[in-house]
Amino acid sequence: MARSWPFSWFRRLLFGLLALVVLWWTIGLINDTYNYWDDDVIAAAAVLESDPFDAPVREIQYLPQGWKPEQSLWFYNATQGSNLIPYDFFLHLAQPNSEALFRDADNINRYRYLPQNPSFSNPDGLPVGMALDRYQGKRYMGFTCAACHTSQLNYNGIGLRIDGAPTAADMEGFILDLATALEQTRDQGARRQRFVDALLEGSDYSSETEIREDLDKYAGVIRAYAEINEPRHCLDPNQTEIAGCKDVQTVHYGYARLDAFGRIYNRVLEHVMNERRLRQILQQTLPADAWTANRDAIETILDDRDKTHLVQRVVVELQPHLAQLPPAEARAIIDDLRGAIYNPANAPASYPFLWDIAQHDYVQWTGLVSNAGLGPLGRNVGQVIGVFGTLDWRPESRWRIWTLLGGQGLGDSHINFQSSIDKRNLRRVESLIKQLWSPQWRDAPLPPINQTLADEGRGYFRRYCASCHANIDRSDRDRRVIAQMSHVDKVGTDPVLASNAITYTGSSGMLRHYYAENALGKLVLQDTAPVAALVSFSTINVVVTPDPDKNRVRRGAEWLYDTLKSLLDNSVKASLRQGDYTPATTDNPFAPLYAYKGRSLNGIWATAPYLHNGSVPTLYHLLLPKQGDDDAYAQWYAAACGDEAVEYRPDSFLVGSREFDPDLVGFRYAGYDGFLMDTSLPSNHNSGHEYAAGRTRQMNGDLLKPLCKRQRLALLEYLKTL
């Protein structure tokens, strides 16, 4: 008996483990079957009868990109924990100055989000990238990756849906109009009553009081978000703080751009704020009468044991006082508070395309995030922080295993980074994106490629482009994309995004005296710290914090599984940055971020407009120089191309059309009532990256002669083949 006992014990353990594996596999199979129940051949895409900028399309088509229709639909509809507004609010809210629903397909299309028909996983027919989320027993509408990374190209009456391509959406306009719609519903009696009656007929709400309380809350929250992130530029050279500027200029994003990082930065700054630092800011910025009139109420909030959402609660408390002041005075107070807490989200960028993103070594325009280890999960968590994940971050006195893993140590106090962010779905999204291929021109109903011209263009690509843009096999499972960083001063493109990445600072609040990892080691977070470090520390702690909406056994098991699965599935290892950039130093640990990334260009034809800030409308124009009174360049061009006229990039053009131009390779940029992209404004500059024009030196220092028109057309034809 003594000999059989170990064998019996081992056998039971083995059978137990086998049973767990079978159970896990079965649950996964059932889950995948449920997730991919939708099988509409065009992924439930809606065909509209009208369009604000273009002729309507008669049908929607998808190109072969490695995904099945049901996978596209899951990508569109899978929640990631974004909680913009209550779900029933979005279903019943009317447009500003109208009784038509805000979610009406024509209105959604006006913002250039993509309308959808109802489907199994999206029974209410929400647009691509807007999904139902559940958190703490309530339902919300929020964004998914697909809202920013799904596009449509229209050509000859056919709408080509491109998964993973940059959206044409105007998120800034969407949020501003949503705030106005909520405010009008709150303030206009008849409109409010229609809204209340609709919700009481069938929703999660059971009383008018509850509806009106949430209406007050979300009207304030969405308006505050819009104002906090107003894309402002300080034009006074003698001032460094926006609050002290004498000349502030707002430069709106328009279509196809967003300062996602600026908005992520600001949400982190708001939610790491603690009562000590917020009290100091209020005393320094509020006029004496405002502080005296509101001090007791504000102190009650600051002294509350619940330290979540302090900034939001204080601003709400100040609203009645501000409403009694002259508008200019109230605005000045808000501007001062905004300047003391936040940074301007004034560096709009084109949305990056997602194919090959999982195979990159570094991601984002400045190479901010390493793709090694848990980097992909952290990148996706950061995205949901920026798009309205509920962040219930608060200090606690006890440590837990995940606070230790997040780098918080074993001290007396710790931060609980509880949130609505769905790390399980984010891991699944990353896994799905690994299967995504770039679209190919030859698969689309577009004019055929001139192969003779493309073969000629291949040589120009090798000379002018290949040092930064490697050519890869889009479907190779082992492909790698090595980011080639180019110093901003060398590439010459608009510097605002890169400058903000390395210069923005903010109050560390609850994170004061913690240590954040960076390229050189650990950086202690002092009272004022680089926002990049605050974001890095916060995202890794969100990643390792279990889901609060599940019971202990389930959340522990899923936390362990998803963390290990993310690590084991990621074959990207930590590596040195490649290219031309300033190395990190102890004085400037974030110096490498003052650079922009060059990546493989497969599928580039489907990603207009171009440059990181969307300041060039078509791929053909990207091969031209910036407009300027430059006699020396005219002589340089004449020496290369004879009496051929010099062409330049347009200094202004329209954005918003989906009508594809196969000759210039981009969207129609004139002749309709779209958003005017003015490249003379801050953060909109269209200079730099003038390699094909002979104005920007190659990475080895060579300045190649400008390409003449036929050569440019040959290079353009080759780019279509990638």
At 236 the pLDDT is 66
User: How do strand 515-518 and strand 675-678 relate by DSSP bridges?
Assistant: unpaired
Contact 168, 455 (CB under 8 A): no
Stated pTM of the model: 0.93
User: How do strand 414-419 and strand 528-530 relate by DSSP bridges?
Assistant: unpaired
At 63 the pLDDT is 96
Contact 118, 43 (CB under 8 A): no
At 24 the pLDDT is 58
Token digits of residue 640: 């290369």
Task: Give the pLDDT band (50/70/90) at residue 243.
Answer: low
- In the chain, count of helices (H) and strands (E)? 24, 25
Ranges of H-type helices in 79-188: 87-92, 105-110, 145-148, 171-187
Contact 90, 102 (CB under 8 A): yes
Contact 637, 694 (CB under 8 A): yes
User: How do strand 391-396 and strand 369-370 relate by DSSP bridges?
Assistant: unpaired
- Residues facing residue 132 across a β-bridge: 141
At 1 the pLDDT is 42
Establish how many alpha carbons lie within 13 A of residue 436's alpha carbon, considering only the half-sphere containing its beta carbon.
28
Query: Per-residue pLDDT tens for 409-422?
Result: 887 789 999 999 99
C-alpha 31/C-alpha 22 separation (Å) is 14
Of 515, 506, 520, residue with least CA distance to 536: 515
Of 59, 39, 259, residue with least CA distance to 152: 59
C-alpha 614/C-alpha 423 separation (Å) is 31
At 501 the pLDDT is 92
> 108 pLDDT exceeds 90?
yes
At 322 the pLDDT is 80
> 284 pLDDT exceeds 70?
yes
Distances (CA, A) of 269 to 218, 263, 503, 622: 20, 10, 15, 36
Average the pLDDT over 309-325 and give the result. Answer: 83
Query: Per-residue pLDDT tens for 190-224?
Result: 999 999 999 999 888 999 999 999 999 999 999 98
Task: Give the pLDDT band (50/70/90) at residue 7.
Answer: low
C-alpha 650/C-alpha 69 separation (Å) is 38
Query: Per-residue pLDDT tens for 365-375?
Result: 898 888 888 88
Tokens 């995202």 locate to: 539
C-alpha 12/C-alpha 617 separation (Å) is 66
What are the residues whose beta carbons fall under 8 Å from the beta carbon of 120, sequence distance 6 or more?
A: 37, 38
| DSSP secondary structure of 330-353 | HHHHHHHHHHHH-------EEPPP
Share of the chain above pLDDT 70, in %: 94
Average the pLDDT over 222-250 and give the result. Answer: 78
Query: Per-residue pLDDT tens for 668-704?
Result: 999 999 999 999 999 999 999 999 999 999 999 999 9
Task: Give the pLDDT band (50/70/90) at residue 665.
Answer: very high
The residue ranges of every structural domain in the chain are 355-438+480-596, 441-473+603-720
Helix axes 423-433, 552-569, angle to 10 degrees: 30
SS3 538: helix
SS3 120: coil
CB-CB neighbours of 475 under 10 Å = 13
Task: Give the pLDDT band (50/70/90) at residue 36.
Answer: low
